[in-house]
Amino acid sequence: MPIFDFSFKVGASLKDVQEFHVDTRALKRLNPPFIFVQLHRVDPMAEGSISEFTLWMGPIPIRWRAVHSNIDPQGFTDTQENGPLKFWRHTHHFQSLDDKTTQIQEHIEYEYFAGWRGILSRILFGRWGLLALFTYRKLITRWVLRKEAA
């Protein structure tokens, strides 16, 4: 099963990072502008909460349903219940480095469907696609948290 790890620091407290990620607006904020996010259901972050959305990659709709678990001030996990991959578990871990700096670690375990069904997900959610997406997320997280701190 492929694994994707991505880590970066932000100039914000652990509390600010955690609040940013559990905000129901985070899903839209963390996707690049060329991916339109249509929200169908976004429960407030809690054990077993659900997020249902469609990612529009141009004319291609990708429907996704995720369940949240392991929620605490140091992060949470979202697991795909229904979506474009055979398996997807994304763990967000936040570690305070000092009062104004937090390390964010993203860990994703995923598996593609076989055959034709897995082709699109291999293109969009392959190593390079994930690297591009999480590089964007790093930049937008830093920008939003810096802006909100001002």
Set out the domains of the chain in order of their start, with CATH numbers: 3-149 (3.30.530.20)
pTM over 0.75: yes
Cα–Cα–Cα angle for 85, 87, 92, rounded to 5 degrees: 105
Instruction: Write the pLDDT tens digit of every residue in 69-104.
Output: 999 999 999 999 999 999 999 999 999 999 999 999
Instruction: Write the pLDDT tens digit of every residue in 99-123.
Output: 999 999 999 999 999 998 888 889 8
pLDDT band at 147 (very low <50, low <70, confident <90, very high): confident
Name residue 2's amino acid: P
